[in-house]
Amino acid sequence: MRFLFTFLSLFISIQLLASPESDSGIFGPTYKNILNETEKWANEYPELVQIIDYGKSVKGRPLRMVLVMKQMHVKSRPAFLMSGSTHGNEFLAIETSLPLKLLEKQRIPGAVKNFLDHGGVFVFIPILNPDGYESRERENANGIDLNRDWDLAETGFKGFTQPETQQLAEYLEKLTQPPFNLNFKVTVDYHCCVGAILYPWSYTKKKLPEPDLSHHIELAEIAKKFLSIDYGTTGEILGYYPQGTTKDYYYSKYNSLTYTYEGRYQEENKYLESHVKWWEAIVSDTLKRITLASERLTLLNFPFLVSFF
Ligand SMILES: [Zn+2]
């Protein structure tokens, strides 16, 4: 009997060890717990946080985004988009920690507070592929890689065959229209585990036109400084040229600065504070450019002002 008990405990332990492990080395909480976490953010910052369930996954799980913004009417709102677990087995725990960190930052004077006070918006999608995340698999429940399922106007590639990508793209487009008026400035999709930051194009060796290439590199340089990682295009870093990636779509569609952040195995969340610093630098860069653009516009509209300088 005692032998049988020992045997059974051993069997159960082996089964537990054999439970699916995430490729990022971080198993992460259940999707339900992550959804509960977003509700805590909304309870703590009711005047800033809006939860939007923009659709359902193949298996019927809610697809959720969290908007952080002040209620005000602004003609064009600069917006940043951050998403995680497009590949369900690449959870870094950054995507679920950053929102609260940035919400805390807006309590004190600084770039984040300034950005929100001027109508800026953060869009967080902690888990883009909840079915894949729950089974710790790369693909969605139909076995499709969602980072190969985005339209690409440049080549005529047709994506959006899956509910997760299709409903997200539709909702993001809606957000660019009234009453939201979002203007996507920077997007970052968090993946694992190369330890590098990638910018477009994914699909070709062809370089981005200027000044877009230099601007992408500028923010990637800052990431390198804070996070000690390499940067380049997907082809330069990984040696392949995939079509249908999120970053090619966002760049092509919205002319945003777009990145895939490839975190490090098991330990990217040790760098959380550096991620916050990188985002503060991105926010400052955007604010500086918006101010410069509006000053240029003022001079164009009132050319007589030029004579005073
Ligand atoms: Zn990935």
pLDDT tens per residue, range 168-220:
999 999 999 999 999 999 999 999 999 999 999 999 999 999 999 999 999 99
Edge-to-edge strand ranges of the sheet holding 257-263: 49-56, 62-68, 121-125, 77-84, 182-192, 257-263, 196-199, 230-233
**58 C-alpha to center of ligand 1: Å?**
19
Q: Please say if the pLDDT value at position 17 is more than 70.
A: no
**95 C-alpha to center of ligand 1: Å?**
14
* Cα Rg, the chain, nearest whole Å: 21
**111 C-alpha to center of ligand 1: Å?**
30
pLDDT digits (tens, 9 = 90+) for 246-293: 999 999 999 999 999 999 999 999 999 999 999 999 999 999 998 877
Predicted confidence at residue 119, as pLDDT, reads 95
**90 C-alpha to center of ligand 1: Å?**
6
Domains of the chain: 44-184+206-308 (3.40.630.10)
**180 C-alpha to center of ligand 1: Å?**
30
In this structure, what are the phi and psi dihedrals at residue 119, rounded to the nearest 5 degrees? 90, 5
Q: Please say if the pLDDT value at position 151 is more than 60.
A: yes
Residue 159: CB atoms within 10 Å: 22
**261 C-alpha to center of ligand 1: Å?**
9
Q: For residues 35 and 64, give the distance between their C-alpha atoms in angstroms, rounded to a whole number.
A: 8
Percentage with pLDDT > 90 across the chain: 83
**100 C-alpha to center of ligand 1: Å?**
24
Q: Please say if the pLDDT value at position 46 is more than 50.
A: yes
Predicted confidence at residue 188, as pLDDT, reads 98
What does the angle CA 92 – CA 95 – CA 98 come to, to the nearest 5 degrees?
120
**163 C-alpha to center of ligand 1: Å?**
19
**285 C-alpha to center of ligand 1: Å?**
27
Q: Please say if the pLDDT value at position 6 is more than 80.
A: no
Mean pLDDT of the chain: 91
Q: Please say if the pLDDT value at position 100 is more than 60.
A: yes
Q: Please say if the pLDDT value at position 303 is more than 80.
A: no
Structure tokens that stand for 140 in this block = 């969605």
Of all helices (H) and strands (E), which one includes residue 10?
helix 2-17
Predicted confidence at residue 2, as pLDDT, reads 54
299 confidence band (pLDDT: 50, 70, 90): low
Select from 122, 125, 130 the least CA-distant residue to 62: 130
CA distances in angstroms from 113 to 14, 41, 109, 219, 286, listed in the order given: 50, 17, 6, 20, 13
Select from 25, 80, 21, 29 the least CA-distant residue to 192: 25
**101 C-alpha to center of ligand 1: Å?**
24
Percentage with pLDDT > 70 across the chain: 89
Inter-residue contact 63 to 53 (CB < 8 Å): yes
> For 69-95, what is the mean pLDDT?
95
**88 C-alpha to center of ligand 1: Å?**
8
Q: CA dihedral defined by 230, 236, 238, 241, rounded to 10 degrees?
A: 140
Q: For residues 288 and 108, give the distance between their C-alpha atoms in angstroms, rounded to a whole number.
A: 19
**138 C-alpha to center of ligand 1: Å?**
7
